[in-house]
Structure 1
Amino acid sequence: MEVYIYTMKAKEMIKENNTLREQMTPFNRSYFEDMIIAMRASRVDSIQAEVLLLDAAKHLLKEQSKGKNAKQTFGEKPEDYFKEIMNSIPARPVRSKLNYYLMIPTVALTCFFGILAIAGLLSEWISGSTGIFSKISLFTIIAVGAGSIILIELLMKWIHSLADDDAPKPKSFDIKGLGIYIGVVVIAIFAGTFLDTLFPIITISPWVSLILGLVGGGLLKFIFFKK
């Protein structure tokens, strides 16, 4: 919920920013869009970045009404106005990145074992046998964990390629990069059908899958999502 509210605040400020830019002269607007690109590409927190950009937009419009242009207001280079602020933000800790890449497969495997548990218990209750839900290839477990990271990275690249109406962005969507990712995924799927037979099959009861799912949920709550 906090992440959702956080995102909504940023989106609301982006929309307000877009409205203010429509009131700028072509030169001022072009200059300010370069400021936006520099700020959003920096390590500054997204909410703080949008607050700073909104303040700058309002200040520019005020000076514009007095006959001044963006260079006269902020300086020769658009990125220089926020340079001190952007340089004061420390780089993202390595631990934070490590947590991010550990969290993704943990979520995927937690859901995977949870689904196996529910499906296996239902199958046992209906037919008296767990069937395929108690036999798992080691390759499948590895593929779920590693594949989740690839999938999330693909989604993040796609999301970052989008922009709100009239919002500037550094570059257009990299269709070539997407094609390469899709190609890798397709190859992995076909390779998986062969590799699956080479890896050992593990027998896990639905109750064990349920315990693994609960343990995964506990790790997410108390390690990755702790306040």
Structure 2
Amino acid sequence: MNQGTRRMTVEEMVELNNERRLQLNEENRKYYEEMLVYLRMSPVEQRKVEELLLEMLDHLLIAQREGRTAQDVFGDDPESYCKEVIQTLDRQPLFHFPRFAFIFSTVLYVGFLLDALFRLIVYPLLNRFYGVPVPEGFKADWFVIAALGPLLIEGMMFFMRKTTFKGIGAKVGWILLLQVISVGGFLLWHLILKDAVPMLPIPAWMSLGIGAALWLVHRLVFNGVFKHVEIF
């Protein structure tokens, strides 16, 4: 890859990839885009992935002009090809601090703002018309969800990788498995662990203030100290 491309930002490389990919014919584009999804959902530094994808796209465009296909360039097993490529790159740690802090703070300020919204508007309406009680505090399970955020995202990325090169039958099977795991986790939480998580006795307006303050801090930190944090 030339030096000019190396100086591009990740966002610019993604945009350039989107533009150049339109030059592929339907067959080559389908093949390449499956590899693109697989590699972008892999736990590898995003800049290296985008550089690699542009390099692969350049090779494929040259091959296409010469009358060759994506299979001629990358082989008949794109999944194995992608796995071999990933092995040559440094893996991104699951709990890399900037990534963890970004996800944790995002989930937390969203949790406080949603809590305020529901306790100030939604629950009072439900209470008035249907007698639904208004919670008297902030459920601390948002802290658990925020802490598990990177793990949940890693699970989603794993699911995307596992279904990328699969047929419709395999994809349906993975979707069903994901649903079983999700329902099982939901039941486990609500039947066993829910009562173990305390309720923080803070009023709704305080949740609103905390959520707004966390959002402001989040914006300042991740637009200044930790720019370009990689989530996926």
TM-score after normalising by structure 2: 0.55
Q: Does 1:210 align with 2:204?
A: no
Q: Does 1:10 align with 2:17?
A: yes
Question: What CA distance in whole angstroms lies between the structure 2 residues aligned with 1:177 and 1:123?
Answer: 35
- Tell me the C-alpha RMSD between the 2 structures: 4.8
Conserved 8 A contact 1:116-1:133: no
1:152 and 1:158, CA in 2 relative to 1: closer, same or farther beyond 3 A? same
Question: What CA distance in whole angstroms lies between the structure 2 residues aligned with 1:221 and 1:132?
Answer: 31
Shift in Å, 1:17: 3.5
- Pairing of 1:137-152 with structure 2 (within 5 A): 137-138=139-140, 140-146=141-147, 148-149=149-150, 151-152=152-153
Larger radius of gyration: 1
Shift in Å, 1:113: 0.5
The aligned amino acid for 1:209 is S
Equivalent of 2:188 in 188, 191, 195? 191
Shift in Å, 1:112: 1.3
Which residue matches 1:136? Answer: 138
The one-character-per-residue Cα deviations of 1:184-209 (angstroms, maximum 9, x if unpaired) are: 33222222223222333321112221
Conserved 8 A contact 2:123-2:134: no
The aligned amino acid for 2:136 is S
Question: What CA distance in whole angstroms lies between the structure 1 residues aligned with 2:189 and 2:142?
Answer: 11
Which residue matches 1:57? Answer: 60
Question: What CA distance in whole angstroms lies between the structure 2 residues aligned with 1:142 and 1:11?
Answer: 37
Q: Secondary structure at the match of 2:23?
A: helix
Q: Secondary structure at the match of 1:17?
A: coil
TM-score after normalising by structure 1: 0.56
Question: What CA distance in whole angstroms lies between the structure 1 residues aligned with 2:148 and 2:176?
Answer: 17
Higher normalized contact order (CA 8 Å, seq sep 6+, divided by chain length): 2
Question: What CA distance in whole angstroms lies between the structure 2 residues aligned with 1:162 and 1:11?
Answer: 22
Question: What CA distance in whole angstroms lies between the structure 1 residues aligned with 2:102 and 2:56?
Answer: 32
1:8 and 1:159, CA in 2 relative to 1: closer, same or farther beyond 3 A? farther
Shift in Å, 1:160: 4.2
Question: What CA distance in whole angstroms lies between the structure 1 residues aligned with 2:12 and 2:62?
Answer: 27
Which residue matches 1:121? Answer: 120
Question: What CA distance in whole angstroms lies between the structure 2 residues aligned with 1:186 and 1:46?
Answer: 33
Question: What CA distance in whole angstroms lies between the structure 2 residues aligned with 1:133 and 1:46?
Answer: 46
* Structure 2 gaps, min length 5: 1-8, 128-132, 228-232
Conserved 8 A contact 1:105-1:146: yes
Conserved 8 A contact 1:20-1:57: no
Conserved 8 A contact 2:137-2:200: yes
Shift in Å, 1:61: 4.5
The one-character-per-residue Cα deviations of 1:94-136 (angstroms, maximum 9, x if unpaired) are: 4983322332232222111101223333479989xxx634323
* Structure 1 gaps, min length 5: 23-31, 164-168
Question: What CA distance in whole angstroms lies between the structure 1 residues aligned with 2:91 and 2:63?
Answer: 31
